[in-house]
Amino acid sequence: MQDESSEAPPRFERGYSAEQSPVGSMARAVIGAIVVTGLYFARPVLEPIALAMLLALLLAPAVRWLHLRGIGRAAAVFATVLFAFIVIAGFAAAVGDEVITFARNLPQYEDNIATKIRSLHGVVPGAGILDRATQVFHDLGSQFEGSVGSSTPSAAAPGERPPVPVEIRQNEPALLQLLRNVIGPMLLPVAEAGLVLLFVIMILLKREDLRDRLLRLAGARDLHRTTAAMNEAAERVSRYLLMQLAVGLCYGLPVGIGLAIIGIPNAPLWGLLGVLLRFVPYIGGPLTAVVPCALAIAVSPGWGVFFSTVLLFIAVETVTANLIEPWIYARTTGLSSVAVVAAATFWTWLWGPVGLLLATPLTVCLVVLGRYLPPLRFLDILLGNQPVLSLQESFYQRLLARDPEEATEQAEEFAREKSIDAFFDEVAMPALVLAQADSDRGVLAGHRRAFIAEGLAAILDNLAEEGLVETDESEGEGPPIACLAARNELDLAAAWLLQHLLRMRGHRAVVFSPDALSTFNLDRLPLRGAAIVCLSLVSTTSPARARYLVRRIRRRARRARLIIGLWGPDRTDFPSADAVVVTAADGVVTSLSAAVAEIEAALGNVSHPRIGLDKTADRLARETV
């Protein structure tokens, strides 16, 4: 887990910037294509460096542990690298010896394999293929037996002519031909391994110097951000490798024990192989199962051992891949499950098997860079596992997508954790504020605002069916409360939210649409019997409209208590709450909970002339005196 004391990555606010312009997007796409092309053609150089950095990260704790106990840096590095080399070479030799032993003992397994193939006659279609497979194993057995048998020719049968000895002489292969045929294919892998080993030693020896150079390369004026990014990347990759080792142990231990119980030769070796191959995403498990399954076919004449081995690997792989690994990837790497698969596909295509091994660590580093560098923020958005939309933005998006069912699920989940009142105040109303901000910028048309209001009405109906809100207009006692939508459909949706909160508390609340507040209809509104009139304003960019409505409502309902709800994005400055609005209203609120408290206090005959004014409205009131 990241140190809580470390500085959090910068948060980028919602809005349109120059980087989001088509030209900026195209420039980033071109730069990305150039980078990918460079990575592809620089593969022979970058692969050893990336592998060396990963191995150095694995070995660095051991070097640090030895160095803290008085061993010099160079001695600690060489001792750690030598030990790791001996372990890797010894394990590779053990696996190779097992494969050679299996090939040498193949004639002994010939009868078991041929018996299994013959048992498939009549069960598996394609008897000709099975016959040919049986003949192949017979031929292999004969060749192995002939190679280890006596080379003395058998005596000729009576009456047969003795064979004529034939001797074929070949020139001894030249030294260059021997080097080309035998040593040539091994030269490139050995050279790459040596290059990786050299890089590992140099990175461990010059670790602090390389760190300082990277910091200087990133810029000395932003050391705190660069340091935080490097520390987080190293911490995430180290934690991933450690937890991946734990996953490998959870996989390899039951595999080794299970194979030993089944009777597969060298079961501990295959369990250890499973631990190491688990570092290779997705194909490590199947690769582990290849040799044990082949041995299961060879060592037993029946099918029981084979099927037991297959079931063992299926069971262990299912538990590991579906229960353990997803939790490990999410908690230790900060990558989403889709990002892990996409990264494995991309890096395998780019660098082959080595890319598959390095896919997760490299992608983790890219995501960390995206968290701290604004130009690369898209990497964190695409590949990270943190929510990229706030609850308010997500709810707004679902309203735009006309998906009230999913929005209802979000409301129910939020209400289970807190309350439906909190959902209205903390999620639904801010979503309407976001919609109004888009409308003020001219990117949200009127019919889209109508869609949002209709979607919110459908959500309220769904919540009513779940018993979370009250929609029966016949319920409620006392004088009616008039909720007026000042300007558009978003004001109407906000008035609906307030209406439902009031009905849930047993009050009679009636909502009037913006059309009812037109010049022609306003004088016809039945407001004379209303005890409280609440004017809902999500948009605060039209002061003239607010002044006009307040004056007309005050003349129409002189005895009613007038409360103005300013829910808009500029509620901290109240551009529409000028002197006329503030002085004419009996209360100014900026949240649904404050509106409910104001209304209930007014219905309780509280003698305060201006109940529940928030600090900003109170300040404006003082300024207008």
38 — pLDDT class (breaks 50, 70, 90): very high
Kindly state whether residues 463 and 514 are assigned to the same domain: yes
Distance, in Å, from the CA atom of 117 to the CA atom of 138, rounded to the nearest integer, reads 12
Eight-state DSSP code of residue 426: I
Residue 415 lies in a domain: yes
Which range in 20-29, 120-129, 568-577, 599-608 is most confidently predicted, on average pLDDT? 20-29
Q: Where are the alpha helices (DSSP H) in 69-164?
A: 73-104, 106-119, 127-148
Sequence-distant (6+) residues with CB within 8 A of 317 are 251, 285
Kindly state whether residues 566 and 419 are assigned to the same domain: yes
Q: Which two tokens stand for residue 432?
A: 């309407």
pLDDT, residue 312, reads: 93
528 — pLDDT class (breaks 50, 70, 90): confident
Residue 350 lies in a domain: yes
Burial class (CB in 10 A: 0-12, 13-18, 19+), 572: exposed
pLDDT, residue 465, reads: 75
Please name the residue that has the structure tokens 């000028």.
578
Residue 142 lies in a domain: no
The total of other beta-carbon atoms located within 10 Å of residue 568's CB is 25
The residue with greater pLDDT, 261 or 385, is: 261
Kindly state whether residues 322 and 403 are assigned to the same domain: no
Kindly state whether residues 242 and 369 are assigned to the same domain: yes
Of 342-356, 382-396, 460-474, 477-491, least confident by mean pLDDT is 460-474
Residue 431 lies in a domain: yes
C-alpha distances in Å from residue 57, one per residue of 84, 89, 136, 233, 607: 13, 20, 48, 11, 71
pLDDT, residue 149, reads: 46
Single residue among 383, 404, 438 that ends a domain in this structure: 383
Of 70-74, 339-343, 360-364, 619-623, least confident by mean pLDDT is 619-623
C-alpha distances in Å from residue 602, one per residue of 470, 484, 512, 532, 612: 22, 18, 21, 8, 10
Q: What is the CATH number of the domain that holds 604?
A: 3.40.50.720
Kindly state whether residues 377 and 435 are assigned to the same domain: no
Residue 576 lies in a domain: yes
Average pLDDT over residues 435-443: 88
Eight-state DSSP code of residue 517: G
Of 57-61, 151-155, 311-315, 386-390, least confident by mean pLDDT is 151-155
381-431 confidence digits (pLDDT tens): 888 888 888 889 999 999 998 888 898 898 888 988 888 889 999 999 999
The percent of residues in the chain predicted with pLDDT above 90, rounded, is: 14
Is 311's pLDDT higher than 90? yes
Helix (H, G, I), strand (E, B) or coil at 407: helix
Q: If you average pLDDT over every residue of the chain, what do you get? A: 77
Kindly state whether residues 399 and 542 are assigned to the same domain: yes
Residue 242 lies in a domain: yes
pLDDT, residue 608, reads: 35
pLDDT, residue 152, reads: 45
pLDDT, residue 470, reads: 56
Average pLDDT over residues 76-84: 91
Single residue among 321, 351, 383 that ends a domain in this structure: 383
Kindly state whether residues 255 and 349 are assigned to the same domain: yes
For residue 335, list its beta bridge partners: 384
Instruction: Find the domain containing 418 and state its range.
Output: 394-623
pLDDT, residue 194, reads: 87
Q: Which two tokens stand for residue 372?
A: 């701290």
Residue 448 lies in a domain: yes
Look at residues 476, 338, 497 and name the one whose alpha carbon lies nearest to residue 423. 497
Distance, in Å, from the CA atom of 55 to the CA atom of 37, rounded to the nearest integer, reads 26
Kindly state whether residues 65 and 197 are assigned to the same domain: yes
Single residue among 339, 358, 383 that ends a domain in this structure: 383
195-249 confidence digits (pLDDT tens): 999 999 999 998 888 888 888 887 667 778 888 888 888 888 888 888 888 888 8
Residue 304 lies in a domain: yes
Is 529's pLDDT higher than 80? no
Kindly state whether residues 217 and 68 are assigned to the same domain: yes
The contacts found for 411-419 with CB under 8 angstroms, 24 or more apart, are: 411/459, 411/463, 411/468, 412/463, 412/466, 412/468, 415/468
297 — pLDDT class (breaks 50, 70, 90): confident
Eight-state DSSP code of residue 322: I
Distance, in Å, from the CA atom of 110 to the CA atom of 115, rounded to the nearest integer, reads 8
Kindly state whether residues 379 and 398 are assigned to the same domain: no
Look at residues 596, 547, 590 and name the one whose alpha carbon lies nearest to residue 567. 590
Distance, in Å, from the CA atom of 608 to the CA atom of 624, rounded to the nearest integer, reads 19
Phi-psi group of 122: left, alpha or beta (phi > 0 → left; psi -120 to 50 → alpha; rest → beta)? left
Kindly state whether residues 379 and 428 are assigned to the same domain: no
Kindly state whether residues 342 and 232 are assigned to the same domain: yes
Counting the structural domains of the chain, the total is 2
Distance, in Å, from the CA atom of 92 to the CA atom of 83, rounded to the nearest integer, reads 14
